[in-house]
Amino acid sequence: MLGVIGGSGFYSFFGDDARSVRLDTPYGAPSAPITMGTVGEHEVAFLPRHGVNHEFSPHSVPYRANMWALRALGVRRIFGPCAVGSLTPQYGPGATVVPDQLVDRTTGRPDTYFDSGGIHVGFADPYCPSLRAAASGLPGVVDGGTMVVIQGPRFSTRAESQWFASQGFTLINMTGYPEAVLARELEMCYAAIALVTDLDAGIDANSAVRAVDVFAEFQRNLVPFRKLVHEAIENLDDERTCTHCLAHDGVQLPFELP
């Protein structure tokens, strides 16, 4: 089974014929009931990251519950569509980017299932190459970029934005971590698909980022963006063949994965 975790403004994925599943986890309830449907030949589970009514801010999303619930349902491959700001004029609003690197600038978020047991997880390449290829090969999609994940819920100052850009980072986001590393700990393939909604404050000196503008830009692009995610799913093989994301090969875990 495949999973899709929708970001800001991306609260549904199927028609009225989808079925809904409610479940609990050792980490509490996920952000919302999970809806199940099909895309092409694939069975897909969809979860809105922020809840169906955007109840959860980026720092309060129940990331561990979300990822655990999807794995418990049988999901092993996940696309994470998300809204991002751009740290380069090269990618303006409406651009779609499949990042290949991530920088964590969050603080205090529960970001592991292994609070005991001395488990270490390789994360040099944080995204699944098979999923990235399925999305980045679509027309008009930018292949590669570094996404810096900030704590939120505030946007960056101009100085912070310029600092990130000077480091060579190309995208800025509030939810890409710890989602990606939790997927790796659960041995699920994961790739972000980023829709640019704005130029960050330090890049566009004549304006500042406002939430209302971000949501409006996302809504303007939602229909083609949702279609792109459908196409990325249809590009995938029926069976998972990736071994890159099997992080615990040869390692004795302190508990059994769901």
pLDDT averaged over the chain?
93
Note the pLDDT tens digit of each residue in 182-234: 999 999 999 999 999 999 987 877 777 788 888 888 788 888 999 999 999 99
What is the CATH T-level fold of the domain 2-235, as seen in this structure? Rossmann fold (3.40.50)
Q: Is position 111 annotated as part of the catalytic site? A: no
- 49 marked as binding residue: yes
Mean pLDDT, range 37-55, rounded to an integer: 92
Residue 50 known to bind ligand: yes
Residue whose C-alpha is closest to residue 38's, from 64, 13, 74: 13
> Using one digit for the tens of pLDDT, what is the confidence trace for 136-160?
999 999 999 999 999 999 999 999 9
The token pair that represents 11 in the structure block: 């609260």
Q: Which of 16, 115, 143, 200 is catalytic?
A: 200
237 is catalytic: no
DSSP string covering 189-255: EEEEEEEEEEE-TTT-TT----HHHHHHHHHHHHHHHHHHHHHHHHTS-SS----TT-TTTT---SS
Give the residue-averaged pLDDT of 29-55.
93
3-state secondary structure of 103: strand
Q: Which spans in 101-188 are helix H?
A: 129-136, 158-166, 176-185
Query: What is the rounded average pLDDT of the residues 161-167?
Result: 96
pLDDT at residue number 50: 93
Identified catalytic residue from 100, 115, 198, 238 = 198
Whether pLDDT at 11 is above 70: no
Ligand-binding site membership of 8 (annotated): yes
Q: Is 200 annotated as a binding residue?
A: yes
Q: Is the peptide bond before 178 cis (omega within 30 degrees of 0)?
A: yes
